[in-house]
Structure 1
Amino acid sequence: MSPSRPFFESPSGELDTGQILYEAVPLAKLVAAVGAVALVPWLLGWLVLELVVLTPGIGVVFTLATQFVLAVGTGLVLMYVVVRANQLADG
């Protein structure tokens, strides 16, 4: 007997949209939180460059900070997905 597949209703073989939404909402919230945190250094860099008109070297620092936040956030999202997939596979 084949194991049950996540997100499929067993008798009909159709997608379980309720379960998909149940799993997608926390993931979307995590992605939105990472995006919101990444906006902070990006907006600070934009304010420094456009409004204060300081040296462009400072813009590079804020760009690197934004990229770092996005890289770490991507890692967190991927870890969440892997852990949740393992939980679904076990249970």
Structure 2
Amino acid sequence: MSISRPFFTSPSGEFDTGQILYEAIPLAKLVASVAAVAAVPLVLRWLLFELVAATPVFGFVFTLASQFVLAVGTALVLMYVVVRANQLADS
């Protein structure tokens, strides 16, 4: 079994910053989009308590919704990383 070099190093041994950015930018966009979607229920919860003084039941529901979005988003990010790692290993 031959030893392969990591995808982010060039044949000279230097880091290939272009390849690192090529892999990091889509991952950062995915993480940012999950965070933005998870922030929506938290902002709604904050607005309900600050502006309307709603009951705590709504706060619990919005907190539960944001936690669910974060859990599903984390799973999506991890699946993306695993699939991308398999694609890089095959090439």
**Structure 1 length-normalised TM:** 0.93
RMSD of Structure 2 on Structure 1 (CA)? 0.9
* Offset at residue 3 of structure 1 (A): 1.7
Q: Distance in 1 between matches of 2:3 and 2:34?
A: 38
Partner of 1:22: 22
- 3-state DSSP of counterpart to 1:71: helix
Q: 2-side partners of 1:46 and 1:76: how far apart?
A: 27
2:25 maps to a residue whose letter is V
Distance 2:3 2:73 in 1: 36
Cα distance in 2 for residues equivalent to 1:35 and 1:5: 29
Gaps of 5+ in 1: none
Q: Report the equivalent of 1:57.
A: 57
**Partner SS state of residue 6, structure 2:** coil
CA distance in 1, matches of 2:64, 2:49: 14
TM superposition shift of 1:33:
0.6
Percent identity, aligned pairs only?
70
The separation in 1 between residues aligned to 2:20 and 2:6, in whole angstroms, is 12
Deviations 1:31-81 (A, max 9, x none): 111011111111111111111001112101100100000110010000000
Structure 1 segments of 4 or more deviating over 6 A?
none
**For 1:31 and 1:8, how far apart are their aligned partners in 2?**
25
Q: Which ranges of structure 2 fall in alignment gaps of 5 or more residues? A: none
Residue 4 of structure 1 is matched in structure 2 by 5
